[in-house]
Amino acid sequence: MKFSLTNKKWFVVLLHAICWILLFSLPFLLRISYKDEHKAPQPDDAAFTVFYFITSVAWIMLFYVNVYIFLPFLLGRKKVVRFIFLQVLAIFIVYFIHRLYFDLYITHQPFKTANFIIYNISPYLFIIASSTAYFVLLERQHNLKLSQERETENLKSELLFLRSQVSPHFMFNVLNNMVALARKKSDLLEPSLIKLSSLMRYMLYETDEQKVPLEKETEYIQSYIDLQQQRFGKNVQIHTSFNINNGSEIEPMLLIPFVENAFKHGTGIITDAQINMELREDNGLLQFLVSNKYNDSANGNKDKNSGIGLNNVKRRLNLLYGANHALLINKKDGWFTVSLQINLH
């Protein structure tokens, strides 16, 4: 998450205070005195200064009342008449404050309604316009934040759904392996079940995290390969090369669909079945290569759900890494090859 001062309440309050001080100090900073430098100060100067301060506070209060009460709760509910009424009421309150101040502290000078309108209509319109613009800006930021939160939640939900699809798909394949070993009454059934239990433990307790250490994901893949090796024995040649550095993390269950796909379509009625896997990682750059021999006629008899795994992982890669990954899938000369590169950082 990027650090932004605009997200800090204290900074927003400080910024508002500075803006108000600068705005209402302008008449004093820019005023050119017409009085003679040697002329003594008039007794009304202090009274008018206090009067200006009270008026400024009234405008500031109207600004925030308009932003946080009038506009969101009245205009937003299409109560335009009530909104206009409250705006008129606000200007009358300022009018009576002015009149009362004149009656109490500037008694020698009569209060004139015409002067009030002339000198206050512009500040009033400025406050209304600026508060409305600020309200629109706040609403836009709020809606943008909600949109981003909804998008984030939707992405999280989709990723969780896609990840949940992997586990049943994987379990379906592994249980088929167990059935095959049971039919053969193989002595490998017991160690295979023990290895399967470790895989299930990883799936149940490790993959709840957004990221897992790459070495754990690699161990998971190797365990899956061991189970498949026990099933097929010498009928399939399996060559693996894993070379990773500790420290990198990856989204769990992300690479296993490629491995599953290789065993699903690279075994069966295939002469000299062979599967090659290479996984390398250096400074956060992961390269994963999976290739297997395939037979179009044999693959034509696969189940209708055979494409779930690859479509799943493609979607997850796009959601998680976007332009920071490259996936190439190629069929050539009887070989099906998947080449994946991810910038994990």
What does pTM read for this prediction? Answer: 0.55
Task: Please write the tens of the pLDDT for every residue from 299-330.
Answer: 555 554 455 667 778 888 888 888 899 999 99
- Give the Cα separation of 202 and 253 in Å (integer): 10
Q: What is the dihedral of CA 206, 208, 213, 219, to 10 degrees?
A: 40
How far is the CA of 19 from the CAs of 3, 45, 119, 129, 164, in angstroms?
23, 25, 21, 16, 52
Going by C-alpha positions, the residue among 184, 205, 311 that lies closest to residue 252 is 205
Task: Please write the tens of the pLDDT for every residue from 35-65.
Answer: 444 444 444 567 777 888 888 888 899 999 9
Q: Cite the beta strand spans of the chain per DSSP E.
A: 212-213, 237-243, 249-250, 274-282, 285-293, 325-332, 335-343
Low-confidence winner among 99-108, 211-220, 267-276 (lowest mean pLDDT): 99-108
Give 26's contacts (C-beta < 8 A, 6+ positions apart): none
Q: With beta carbons less than 8 A apart as the criterion, state whether 311 and 261 touch.
A: no
Task: Please write the tens of the pLDDT for every residue from 191-231.
Answer: 888 888 877 787 777 666 778 889 988 988 998 888 888 77
